[in-house]
Structure 1
């Protein structure tokens, strides 16, 4: 039994999906240009505990964008990233996450990569288009694509949110993409849910019947399930030691 099949068998029988995802590649996989070195990525804290961010009007995409861009420039970087399981105040601005019917959702389930509008997005591994949709709620994903993957018989999904409208204009369900193919570009604030340009990248084990959408933010009561169903995307990207 080769090492990938062995790790696949172990992961599924121990119900350790995160271990399986981490085993897919020992090298970093890329959703942005592979020629951008890790030294040009800088982590950013957008949590509710960041006192510096608390001084920013995060209801304004322009002011939040200034905060992010200044952070990138100070570190002589090109991309700011982070946010997995981060509790954020930014979602308070939208009834999509914060209403009286359900528990407030403010825990981020993917990783965000903040960079320039129209930045190309690449397939990190081979996949086919599972679904796509323009999620137009205020504060939502905007144009969104979900890819389906199969490795050693195991099916899982990756979600790409805050894309440009052109990214989903000519997509087809079942369309194939190879690793390193350009699959999309980033949208601007007018289409991406009113955020500074960035990619929301998320791994999903069980898609639960969703099409073109999947929760990217959860509340405390659902965190255990979503943490298991949506492991840390850094297991693929390997931008930081996990």
Structure 2
């Protein structure tokens, strides 16, 4: 199935927004945020500090009378410069284009399965700037197998689960972690759709270089086809 047909398939799953964090948080409580050079507020604090990020996000949410800040698909971000994990010698190969949608909110917020499926894999990806605890679910729809990734969870989220466990849409599969385990970020969920997992286990690139972006656009469609959040 080509990417256009697959995107249409995802979009048709639900006319209503599919929630991947606590369903008690109304969609009206979501606000878009830019984590790129377009956001001049990022010049006003130390973006290498998770504590400074948390303070900024708390202020941003309060100012917008919101509970969740969201965005980031194909957003080019400078924040990855803080971590050697994303850097390469060649500027063209530097990984700084975000492949999922981030949902920024409080630690310990419930994380929900986007669709029916099963646990494919999970892992504690503990590089600085990485996902931290991560769960990948496997889904099948009209003979198409694909995956959803949930990154920056709490350690407890991956302690009592097993590969092959069945999950239903809306089931709580974990909770958001804090900066001590989530890669040194303010608490948030990285949510990503993946068509070909390429033999990865409990992990998959969430950030691309410019030279590889064509592949990833085709392999990691816009998660907002499911979330249906309006900027």
Q: Into which bin does the TM-score normalised by the smaller protein fall?
A: over 0.9
Give how far 1:65 is off.
Answer: 1.5
Equivalent-residue separation in structure 2 for 1:224 and 1:177 (angstroms):
31
State the Cα deviation string for residues 115-164 of structure 1 (Å, max 9, x = none).
Answer: 11111111121110000000011000000000000112111000000000
1:44 equivalent in structure 2: 33
Q: How many residues align?
A: 230
3-state SS, counterpart of residue 52 of structure 2 = helix
The structure 2 residue matched to 1:142, chosen from 132, 152, 172, is 132
- Tell me the TM-score normalized by structure 1: 0.91
2:56 equivalent in structure 1: 67
Give how far 1:37 is off.
Answer: 1.7
3-state SS, counterpart of residue 156 of structure 1 = strand
- Confirm or deny that 1:21 pairs with 2:10: yes
3-state SS, counterpart of residue 69 of structure 1 = helix
3-state SS, counterpart of residue 102 of structure 2 = strand
Contact 1:85 1:108 in 2 (8 A): yes
Bigger radius of gyration, 1 or 2? 1
Structure 1: any 5+ residue segments left out of the alignment? 1-11
Give how far 1:15 is off.
Answer: 5.1
1:32 equivalent in structure 2: 21
2:214 equivalent in structure 1: 224
Equivalent-residue separation in structure 2 for 1:144 and 1:205 (angstroms):
17
3-state SS, counterpart of residue 224 of structure 1 = helix
The structure 2 residue matched to 1:121, chosen from 96, 108, 111, is 111
Structure 1 residues 199-238: aligned runs within 5 Å: 199-238=189-228
Equivalent-residue separation in structure 1 for 2:3 and 2:112 (angstroms):
31
- Tell me the TM-score normalized by structure 2: 0.96
Relative to 1, partners in 2 of residues 1:69 and 1:14: Cα closer, same or farther, differing over 3 Å?
A: closer
3-state SS, counterpart of residue 16 of structure 1 = helix
Equivalent-residue separation in structure 2 for 1:14 and 1:225 (angstroms):
11
Give how far 1:79 is off.
Answer: 0.5
Give how far 1:14 is off.
Answer: 6.9
Give how far 1:52 is off.
Answer: 1.8
